[in-house]
Structure 1
Amino acid sequence: MVPVWILLCYGLAAVLVHLMHRMYVRGRAGAPNREHYILVTRNHEQQMEWYLRAISWYAHLRGRDCRITVFDEGSEDDTLAITQLIKNSGDLELSVYGFSGRQGEDDMRRQAAAAEGETALLIDLRVPMEAAKIPYVHV
Structure 2
Amino acid sequence: MVAQLIWIAAIYVIAVLLVHILHKGGQSRQRSQSGKRLHYILITRNHEYVVEWYIRALTFHALLSGKRLQVTLMDDGSSDATMDVALRLALGGSALEFAPAVPIGFLESDPKLQPGIIVDLREPGQAVPLPFLQMPWSKGCRSKRGE
Q: Which residue of the partner structure matches residue 8 of structure 2?
A: none
Root mean square deviation, CA, Å: 2.4
C-alpha displacement of 1:130: 2.0
| Aligned-residue identity in percent | 32
C-alpha displacement of 1:77: 0.3
1:98 aligns with 2:67: no
Using the size of structure 1 for normalisation, the TM-score is 0.63
C-alpha change, 1:76 and 1:111, in structure 2 (3 Å) is: farther
Tell me the alpha carbon deviations over residues 11-43 of structure 1, each in whole angstroms, 9 at most, x when there is no partner.
Answer: xxxxxxxxxxxxxxxxx9xxx611100010000
Question: Is this contact kept in 2: 1:38–1:112, CA < 8 A?
Answer: no
Using the size of structure 2 for normalisation, the TM-score is 0.60
* Match of residue 127, structure 1, among 123, 126, 131: 123
1:59 aligns with 2:62: yes
Q: 1:96 is matched by which residue type in structure 2?
A: F
Q: Which residue of the partner structure matches residue 88 of structure 1?
A: 91
C-alpha change, 1:111 and 1:96, in structure 2 (3 Å) is: farther
- Alignment size in residue pairs: 101
C-alpha change, 1:111 and 1:43, in structure 2 (3 Å) is: farther
Measure the CA separation in 2 of the matches of 1:112 and 1:46. Answer: 31
Q: 1:104 is matched by which residue type in structure 2?
A: P
SS state at 1:57 partner: helix
C-alpha change, 1:112 and 1:81, in structure 2 (3 Å) is: farther
Q: 1:127 is matched by which residue type in structure 2?
A: E
1:75 aligns with 2:74: no
State which structure, 1 or 2, has the greater radius of gyration over its C-alpha atoms.
Answer: 2
Structure 1 unaligned runs (5+)? 1-27
C-alpha displacement of 1:97: 2.3
Tell me the alpha carbon deviations over residues 60-99 of structure 1, each in whole angstroms, 9 at most, x when there is no partner.
Answer: 1110111000100000000000000000111x21111233
Q: 2:113 is matched by which residue type in structure 1?
A: A
Q: 2:119 is matched by which residue type in structure 1?
A: I
Measure the CA separation in 2 of the matches of 1:65 and 1:104. Answer: 26
Tell me the alpha carbon deviations over residues 110-130 of structure 1, each in whole angstroms, 9 at most, x when there is no partner.
Answer: 49822xxxx610111100132
